[in-house]
Amino acid sequence: MTYRDPAVAAAALRAAARVDLGAISSNVARVKEIVGPAEVMAVVKAEGYGHGLVQSALAAVEGGATWLGVAFLEEAVALRAAGIGVRILCWLGTPGEPVAEAVTADIDVSASAPWAIAEIANAALEVGRVARVHLKVDTGLSRGGAVMGDWPELVQAAAKARAEGYVEIVGLWSHLVHGSNPAHPTTALQIGAFNDALSYAASVGVTPQIRHFANSGGLLLVPGTRFDLVRAGLATYGLSPVPDQRDSASFGLRPAMTLTARLALTKKVPAGTGVSYSHRYVTPVPTMLGLVPLGYADGVPRTATNNAEVLVRGRSSTVRRTISGTVCMDQFVVDLGPGDDDFAAGDDVVLFGPGDRGEPTAQDWADACDTISYEIVTRIGVRVPRVYEGA
């Protein structure tokens, strides 16, 4: 469910993830300033890191992205079906996937092994079009890509398919281990390995149009990884990938998502009241409790129990309070404190946002839950409507 009118969301919804599309566009424009002549790929996989696949893609293109990146073929096809015409790369597949659909839709695909080249070539033959391929080398992450010992076989297989007229070798690429830590020795080793992979490819006549290596951390802090194209993932959504520079504003970025809810119930309870499952929180004094209708089924981590804070706006005061007791599937409780009846059902609750109005940030939640901000925003579930603003 998507609500484009924020007034409707404010009046009718118990919770919403408000997405500032203008922030996404501005973040991409800022990345372009940082990386200079390199092109920008906005990574919109996983529903745009929870912000919305198509909406985030359109905002990123508005900001100057000339490429979009996704993990899976169905994500790329959805972007094409929405009428988005910029270059799209999808990079994660298993044997037997409908690669012909990607070739028909003019979607770039990645290959990490000769079997993938064979399937891509067969798909190109099937639909009568040349497939656009990026070859991935594993320079140390030990995830996708061909290890250095297997790289020659992959490059040669692609060169053979190119000679037969089935593929165009568009890009050579890899992925950083410590992109946010330019001083880590692994980063220099990876850059060296990537350059070696490029040199081998050139020695057998494979010179790509695009070389890409940098993720958000790399594009911000490791200029030597920018090459011809950078892949802006977390930075597109205004969050910092750098552990010791958690305030994304230091990079000129603004968080795009604000997660809100409305109190479903308030009630006064005496001191010593156990709250939620297992009574992991007990009220120290007579107080008022507020019920927030979001839970782990909506992406609120259970580890937020007694850890993460929210901002509650009452009639005459605004307070930050820590989640009180176990986070449940659909709800959690906040101890609003003793005092008058300032808070009531329907009052606004902000779980996280940009932080400039006193609310916690996604990074604050990540710190409280011992995770990363990527997980905080991407796990917000389908029961939470996205409200798009700032377009």
CATH number of the domain bearing residue 168: 3.20.20.10
Q: Do 336 and 276 reside in the same domain of the chain?
A: yes
Residue 79 has pLDDT above 80, yes or no: yes
β-strands 67-70, 87-90 pairing: parallel
Identified catalytic residue from 49, 200, 268, 277: 277
Query: Would residue 277 show up in a list of annotated catalytic residues for this protein?
Result: yes
How many domains does the structure of the chain reveal? Answer: 2
Percent over 70 (pLDDT), the chain: 97
Looking at residue 155, what is its pLDDT?
98
Looking at residue 244, what is its pLDDT?
74
Q: Do 104 and 243 reside in the same domain of the chain?
A: yes
pLDDT tens digits along 341-383: 799 999 999 999 999 999 999 999 999 999 999 999 999 999 9
Residue 3 confidence class, pLDDT cut points 50, 70, 90? very low
Q: Do 290 and 217 reside in the same domain of the chain?
A: no
Average model confidence (pLDDT) across the chain? 94
Residue 9 has pLDDT above 50, yes or no: no
Identified catalytic residue from 45, 281, 374, 388: 45
Residue 7 confidence class, pLDDT cut points 50, 70, 90? very low
CA 284 to chain centre: 39
Residue 10 has pLDDT above 60, yes or no: no
Residue 8 has pLDDT above 90, yes or no: no
Q: Do 54 and 189 reside in the same domain of the chain?
A: yes
Q: Do 122 and 187 reside in the same domain of the chain?
A: yes
Q: Do 211 and 347 reside in the same domain of the chain?
A: no
**Average pLDDT of the residues in 2-12:** 47
Residue 1 has pLDDT above 90, yes or no: no
| Residues making up the chain, counted from first to last | 391
Residue 86 has pLDDT above 90, yes or no: yes
Residue 4 has pLDDT above 70, yes or no: no
**Average pLDDT of the residues in 98-110:** 98
Q: Do 140 and 64 reside in the same domain of the chain?
A: yes
Q: Do 234 and 89 reside in the same domain of the chain?
A: yes
Residue 109, both tokens: 């695909």
The answer to whether position 173 is within a domain reads yes
The answer to whether 234 and 214 have CB atoms below 8 angstroms apart is no
Residues paired with residue 134 on neighbouring β-strands, in sequence order: 110, 171
- Which range marks the domain in which residue 340 is found? 257-389
CATH of the domain at 274: 2.40.37.10
**Average pLDDT of the residues in 223-232:** 96
* Separation between Cα atoms, residue 375 and residue 341, nearest integer Å: 36
Query: Would residue 281 show up in a list of annotated catalytic residues for this protein?
Result: no
The answer to whether position 298 is within a domain reads yes
Looking at residue 12, what is its pLDDT?
59
Percent over 90 (pLDDT), the chain: 90
The answer to whether 334 and 275 have CB atoms below 8 angstroms apart is no
The domain boundary, picked from 247, 269, 298, lies at: 247
β-strands 318-322, 287-292 pairing: unpaired
The answer to whether position 3 is within a domain reads no
pLDDT tens digits along 48-66: 999 999 999 999 999 999 9
**Average pLDDT of the residues in 224-240:** 97
Looking at residue 248, what is its pLDDT?
86
**Average pLDDT of the residues in 28-55:** 98
Q: Do 237 and 270 reside in the same domain of the chain?
A: no
* Separation between Cα atoms, residue 198 and residue 88, nearest integer Å: 22
Residue 200 has pLDDT above 60, yes or no: yes
**Average pLDDT of the residues in 245-250:** 82
The answer to whether 215 and 175 have CB atoms below 8 angstroms apart is yes
Looking at residue 242, what is its pLDDT?
86
Residue 246 has pLDDT above 80, yes or no: no
Looking at residue 11, what is its pLDDT?
44
What is the pTM assigned to this prediction? Answer: 0.94
pLDDT tens digits along 133-191: 999 999 999 999 999 999 999 999 999 999 999 999 999 999 999 977 777 899 999 99
Q: Do 214 and 189 reside in the same domain of the chain?
A: yes
Looking at residue 243, what is its pLDDT?
72
The answer to whether position 252 is within a domain reads no
Residue 2 has pLDDT above 50, yes or no: no
Kindly give, in sequence order, each residue whose CB lies less than 8 Å from that of residue 194, ignoring residues fewer than 6 positions away: 137, 139, 174, 213
